[in-house]
Structure formats: structure tokens, C-alpha cells
């Protein structure tokens, strides 16, 4: 069997070959998400770029199918769902190739693309059937906030309210949230419904969420769709919020019809059923593999509260996998994710000898979370990577000593600098540690992509090996 021509590829796809390919384990739907500003777009761009341009031993030494010279080629083909926006790989590459190079525009909402990877199977059943095989790889990009909404599927409004209130009443949220909380305290559960008041408070609550994300760099933001409402902007199911009075109410209470409480409960339920369940059924339950990207450096810069928030966000994400496996919905729409990778991005922003610390730190964030949830059966790994390397590592002399350093251009000013950005703690920092240490990791601009070279990276091949290796055997 030869490598098929362009139109033959198309034909295979169109004739429902997908299903057959899935049966032969030759189809993977890989979901990419991140805790905001983690570099989803850079990751997908680099992943696609490596597969299209960089499949040689030099660039992907840890990717078996490449190392063993079984990789035959890769191309982008028509995506499976015409109503989902396409991931704009071309635009991202253009930004990285411009002078000076720029980080690609972040994506908003959901997007997808499909690659077809031709390879020679290793000796085994498959290789007996065919000389060459094709892996159809769908990459789906979605906002991390949607993932963090999934635990709402198992919650009632009052329970959710109390959980959010606890967040709102602790720093770093508390000082900004105080005046909103005061207003919301005036909502009496048994008052007749006042839609204008509920809408106004929901809009102010949404502004708070934006502030928490954009100014405080927090990740735990529910309901996530409030931040990206799209066509639901202004719809009543976005007009609810955590109710301060919830702390005085029994969970078993039945709200009186026509009251504020009843309206809030109805809207929470509508959000859960329409928005959260919709995402779960249409997308999440269809994913085969998931990578969650996290920037651990920015929360270290921002301090203990931001770092604890990242920890809690990772716990919630692991809960949502747990959710899928234990709940009622599961019987109808079992999630298929059988491999989960947490990756700390921007490893090029620290010196190489700190990478092991970064991995250890992320490992502890994930490990801590795993103890809170029943979570087994899914291979789950952690690693530190740089999707697109923005710095070069080396040594510089300081008072006769050789110290590790990185060199790059600062993202804000473009200024070329060489520095030792600091140490990364290799355990979860405790209060004492925070008192004695401050972090100031610098953001770097990308280096311009060379036309004849794939994008430089750190350990993207190892991420590929974990996420796809078994499908390319």
C-alpha cells in the first residue's frame, strides 16, 4: 500500500473510514486546555509544526516513531466538525515568523484541527495487516474555565454558593469582593423575584471574575462561561451568583415559587443542564487524551494566594475526571480519556538545572490533588516543557564563578538580557518559605522562526511520546 494521494486521502475520510480507523486504534482526539495564560496556542502551534516540519531525530529524539525511522509524513486535512471554528495554525506561524517575532494571538472558545500521520507500524498484528498505517489526530483547544465548571454537574445551588462564598471571603479575593458581597447580602431568599436586581448583581459578579482573572491571575473562576458568554450574552441563565444567605439555609429546603431563591436555583440548574452538560456531552465525553497546561511561574511571582489557587484548580480538574467515572451521567456518556498529562510550560524561562525542581513542584501539586479524589485507572504524568523556546541557556561569569543563565529578549520592551532568573522550589512552599523568598520570573518574547527550521522547543517530543506514542506502535 502506497502513501495515498491528496484526493484519495479525502475519499478515505469521506467514506466514513473514520469509524474503521477508530476500530483499528488509529484515531485520537487530543484535548488541549490550560489554566489561563498557560500557552495553549503556542503548544498546539509547536506540536503541529513539529509533526509537519520537524520529524527527524535531531528535533524529536524521544519520539519513538521518529527515532526508529518509522515516521513517513504528516499533513493537515479537513476537520471533522464543520460548525466548530478552525485552529488558525497559519496565523500563529505568521506571528512567530514576523520581525520582531510575536507570540500568536490567544484563542477564544473552542477550535479544532485534524492531522493525518502516516507511519510504519512496529512488528505485530497491525504490521501484518498493512505496511503503512495512518493515525488521524484531532486536536481540540478549549478554555480551561470550561473544565473547571464540570464539578458543578454534581452540585446543588446552595452547596455551590457556600463554596464560592468561602472563596470570595478569603484573600486575595476578599478585599475586592467586599462591596459586592454587601450588596448581595440584601437579597432575601423569600422576597418576590426581581429580575433587574438579579441581572445587575450577576453582571457585577461577572466583572469581579474578570478582575480575578486578569488582574490577580487566578484560575478558580466559576461559572466559567460568564467570562466568555458568546451568543448567550445577556441570557437569563447567566444571571445568577453565589447567594450569601445560603449559609443560613438547609440544603433540603424547597424554594417557594416566585421568590428570588427559586429563580436563582432555576438559573443555576439551567446553566448546569444547558451549558455544563452541553460541553460534557458534546465535547468532553469524546476526548481520548487530555493535556492540561499550567504556568507555575506566574503564580510563584504573584505569591502564596495565587499559588494556592493554582493548587485548588488542579484538584478540581482531577475531580472532574473522577466525576466522569463515578456519576450517573457516566453510564450514558462515559468519558473515554485514558491518558492525562499535566505540563508546566515556559521551562525555557528558567535555567536548565531548575527543570527538575519545576517538575517536582508540579508533581506535588498533582499528587496532593490525587489524594483528595478517588482517581485511578488513568495514566497521569507531569512534565516541564517549552512549546516554543524563547531563550538560550548557558553560563556567565560572576566574581570569578560560573553561574547558569538564560539569554533572550524581554517580552515587554524587546530588550536583550542575560540573567539567572532564580530558583524554583522543589516542594510546595510553606508560609515560612514565602516570607523568605520572592520570585521575579521574567517574560520573554519568542525568537523569530527560521523558514527552514522547525520551532525550537524543550521536551515537546516527550509530551508527544506520552500522548501519542502507543498509537504509533
Strands 401-409, 416-419: pairing is: antiparallel
How many residues make contact with a second copy (CB under 8 A)?
Answer: 43
SS3 409: strand
Q: Which of 452, 209, 204, 397 is nearest to 309 (CA)?
A: 209
Distance CA 37, CA 329 (A): 31
Q: Which of 158-166, 265-273, 398-406, 418-426 is the region at the interface with a second copy (rule: CB under 8 A)?
A: 265-273
- Strands of the sheet containing 289-294, edge to edge, are 71-77, 111-119, 133-141, 27-34, 289-294, 340-344, 380-384
Please say whether the beta carbons of 290 and 433 come within 8 A. no
C-beta closer to a second copy: residue 228 or 360: 228
C-beta closer to a second copy: residue 104 or 121: 104
C-beta closer to a second copy: residue 73 or 192: 192
C-beta closer to a second copy: residue 177 or 238: 238
Q: Is 78 in the site for a second copy (CB under 8 A)?
A: yes
Among 58, 175, 233, 399, binds a second copy (CB under 8 A): 233
Q: Is 236 in the site for a second copy (CB under 8 A)?
A: yes
C-beta closer to a second copy: residue 275 or 314: 275
Give the long-range contacts of residues 417-425, CB within 8 A, separation 24 or more.
417/442, 420/351, 420/396, 421/349, 421/350, 421/351, 422/350, 423/354, 423/357, 424/296, 424/297, 424/300, 424/350, 424/354, 424/357, 424/358, 424/361, 425/300, 425/357, 425/361
Q: Is 95 in the site for a second copy (CB under 8 A)?
A: no
In the complex, the smallest distance separating the C-beta of residue 110 from a second copy, rounded to whole angstroms, is 8
Taking CA atoms, 319 is separated from 58, 265, 341, 369, in Å, by: 39, 23, 15, 8
SS3 34: strand
Q: Is 232 in the site for a second copy (CB under 8 A)?
A: yes
Among 124, 230, 377, 400, binds a second copy (CB under 8 A): 230
Q: Which of 144-152, 263-271, 370-378, 450-458 is the region at the interface with a second copy (rule: CB under 8 A)?
A: 263-271
Asked if residue 91 has a cis previous peptide bond (ω within 30° of 0), the answer is: no
C-beta closer to a second copy: residue 52 or 232: 232
Distance CA 288, CA 337 (A): 4
Q: Is 258 in the site for a second copy (CB under 8 A)?
A: yes
Q: Which of 203, 209, 184 is nearest to 260 (CA)?
A: 184
Q: Is 428 in the site for a second copy (CB under 8 A)?
A: no
Q: Is 109 in the site for a second copy (CB under 8 A)?
A: yes
Q: Is 195 in the site for a second copy (CB under 8 A)?
A: yes
In the complex, the smallest distance separating the C-beta of residue 266 from a second copy, rounded to whole angstroms, is 7
Residues 312-331 that bind a second copy (CB under 8 A): none
Distance CA 53, CA 51 (A): 6
Distance CA 472, CA 268 (A): 43
In the complex, the smallest distance separating the C-beta of residue 11 from a second copy, rounded to whole angstroms, is 4
C-beta closer to a second copy: residue 7 or 175: 7
In the complex, the smallest distance separating the C-beta of residue 161 from a second copy, rounded to whole angstroms, is 18
Among 118, 274, 325, 410, binds a second copy (CB under 8 A): 274
Per CB under 8 A, residues contacting a second copy are 6-11, 14, 76, 78-79, 82-86, 88, 90, 109, 111, 192-193, 195-196, 199, 230-237, 256-259, 262-263, 266-267, 270, 274-275
Amino acid at each position: 500500500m502506497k502513501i495515498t494521494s491528496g484526493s484519495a486521502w479525502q475519499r478515505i475520510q469521506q467514506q466514513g473510514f473514520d469509524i474503521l480507523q477508530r476500530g483499528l486504534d488509529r484515531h485520537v482526539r487530543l484535548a488541549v486546555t490550560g489554566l489561563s495564560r498557560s500557552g495553549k496556542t503556542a503548544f498546539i502551534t509547536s506540536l503541529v509544526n513539529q509533526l509537519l516540519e520537524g520529524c527527524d531525530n535531531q528535533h524529536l529524539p524521544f519520539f519513538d516513531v521518529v527515532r526508529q525511522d518509522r515516521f513517513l509524513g504528516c499533513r493537515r486535512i479537513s476537520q471533522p466538525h464543520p460548525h466548530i471554528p478552525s485552529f488558525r495554525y497559519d496565523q500563529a506561524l505568521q506571528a512567530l515568523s514576523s520581525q520582531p517575532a510575536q507570540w500568536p494571538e490567544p484563542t477564544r472558545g473552542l477550535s479544532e484541527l485534524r492531522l493525518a500521520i502516516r507511519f510504519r507500524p512496529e512488528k505485530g498484528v497491525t504490521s501484518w495487516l498493512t505496511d503503512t498505517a495512518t493515525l488521524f489526530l484531532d486536536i481540540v483547544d478549549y478554555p480551561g474555565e470550561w473544565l473547571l465548571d464540570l464539578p458543578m454537574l454534581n452540585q446543588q445551588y446552595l452547596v455551590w454558593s457556600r463554596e464560592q462564598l468561602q472563596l470570595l471571603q478569603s484573600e486575595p479575593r476578599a478585599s475586592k469582593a467586599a462591596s459586592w458581597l454587601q450588596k448581595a447580602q440584601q437579597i432575601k431568599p423569600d422576597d418576590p423575584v426581581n429580575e433587574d436586581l438579579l441581572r445587575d448583581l450577576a453582571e457585577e459578579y461577572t466583572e469581579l471574575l474578570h478582575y480575578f482573572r486578569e488582574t490577580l491571575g487566578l484560575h478558580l473562576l466559576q461559572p466559567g462561561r460568564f467570562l466568555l458568554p458568546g451568543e448567550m450574552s445577556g441570557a437569563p441563565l447567566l444571571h445568577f451568583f453565589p447567594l450569601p444567605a445560603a449559609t443560613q439555609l438547609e440544603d433540603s429546603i424547597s424554594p417557594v415559587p416566585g421568590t428570588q431563591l427559586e429563580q436563582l436555583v432555576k438559573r443555576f440548574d439551567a446553566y448546569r443542564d444547558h451549558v455544563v452538560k452541553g460541553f460534557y456531552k458534546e465535547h468532553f465525553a469524546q476526548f481520548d487524551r487530555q493535556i492540561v497546561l499550567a504556568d507555575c511561574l506566574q503564580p510563584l511571582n504573584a505569591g502564596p494566594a495565587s499559588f494556592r489557587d493554582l493548587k485548588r484548580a488542579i484538584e478540581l480538574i482531577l475531580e472532574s475526571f473522577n466525576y466522569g467515572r463515578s456519576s450517573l451521567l457516566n453510564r450514558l456518556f462515559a468519558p473515554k480519556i485514558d491518558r492525562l498529562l499535566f505540563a508546566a510550560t515556559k521551562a525555557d524561562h528558567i535555567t536548565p538545572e531548575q527543570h527538575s525542581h519545576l517538575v517536582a513542584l508540579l508533581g506535588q501539586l498533582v499528587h496532593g490533588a490525587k489524594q483528595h479524589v478517588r482517581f485511578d485507572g488513568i495514566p497521569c504524568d507531569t512534565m516541564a516543557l517549552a512549546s516554543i523556546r524563547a531563550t538560550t541557556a548557558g553560563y556567565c561569569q560572576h566574581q570569578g564563578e560560573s553561574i547558569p543563565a538564560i539569554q533572550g529578549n524581554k517580552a515587554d520592551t524587546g530588550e536583550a538580557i542575560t540573567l539567572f532568573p532564580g530558583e524554583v522550589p522543589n516542594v510546595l512552599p510553606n508560609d515560612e518559605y514565602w516570607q523568605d523568598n520572592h520570585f521575579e520570573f521574567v517574560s520573554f518574547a519568542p525568537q523569530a522562526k527560521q523558514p527552514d527550521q522547525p520551532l525550537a522547543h524543550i521536551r515537546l517530543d516527550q509530551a508527544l511520546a506520552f500522548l501519542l506514542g502507543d498509537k504509533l506502535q
